[in-house]
Amino acid sequence: MQAARGAAVDPAATPDDRPSRRRTWSLFTLVALVVYAIDLGTKVLAVDRLSGEPDVPLVGDLLVLRLVKNPGAAFSTGTEYTVVLSVLSIVAACVVVVLSLRLRSRLWALGLGLLMAGVLGNLTDRIFRAPGPMRGHVIDFLMLPNWPVFNVADMAINGAAALILVQAFRGIRLDGTREGEHEHKTKKNTKEHE
């Protein structure tokens, strides 16, 4: 069957042209896996190449490599709560997986994929690095002027936060609808049936 403009009709296409759950979940999974792999790979390289070494300037003083083993959260806060941070990370990862099952928005898929990668990247360090499971120190190695040392997982979490805020301000839900869109459609359908 052909559409009015001559293109083939996709029987799975939605009238409002939102991507399918399968496609957005695939995007979420791809982003999470790729960024998680990049985070792990860069941490392995940082530990291998920067252990016992002085700071390595990459872009003058603007971007410097410095190996730091962080037992706490952002800005090295909460260093005595490493186990609690690990448990919170596990809970956060589970919540992200549940939310990902409702995805029909590419930007939400990208944001949640970045969030999952960041959470899992730092959680992996907490589980598998010294001093022991759930107490491991997170590997940080990127340093900007007047900013704490960070890693790829931290960048992914910050990127996710930015995308999630954009979607929230735009009023876009996980399923790709706008705030109030469902109510508007319900009212319109009710009027049509009266």
pLDDT (tens digit per residue) in 114-153: 999 999 999 999 999 999 999 999 999 999 999 999 999 9
Q: What are phi and psi of 152, to 5 degrees?
A: -65, -40
Higher pLDDT, 15 or 32: 32
Residue 73 is predicted with a pLDDT of: 77
Mean pLDDT of the chain: 87
More confident residue, 187 or 163: 163
Q: Give the pLDDT band (50/70/90) at residue 6.
A: very low
Rounded distance, CA 139 to CA 133, Å? 15
Q: What is the per-residue pLDDT for 180?
A: 76
Is the pLDDT confidence value at 189 over 60? no
The Cα–Cα gap between 96 and 112 comes to: 7
Residues 6+ apart with CB under 8 A from 94: none
> Catalytic site residues?
140, 154
Would you state the structure tokens that stand for residue 30, as one six-digit string? 């791809």
Predicted confidence at residue 19, as pLDDT, reads 84
d(CA 12, CA 10): 5
- Residues 174 and 105: beta-carbon distance below 8 Å: yes
What strands lie across the sheet with 63-70, from one edge to the other? 56-59, 63-70, 138-143
pTM value surpassing 0.95: no
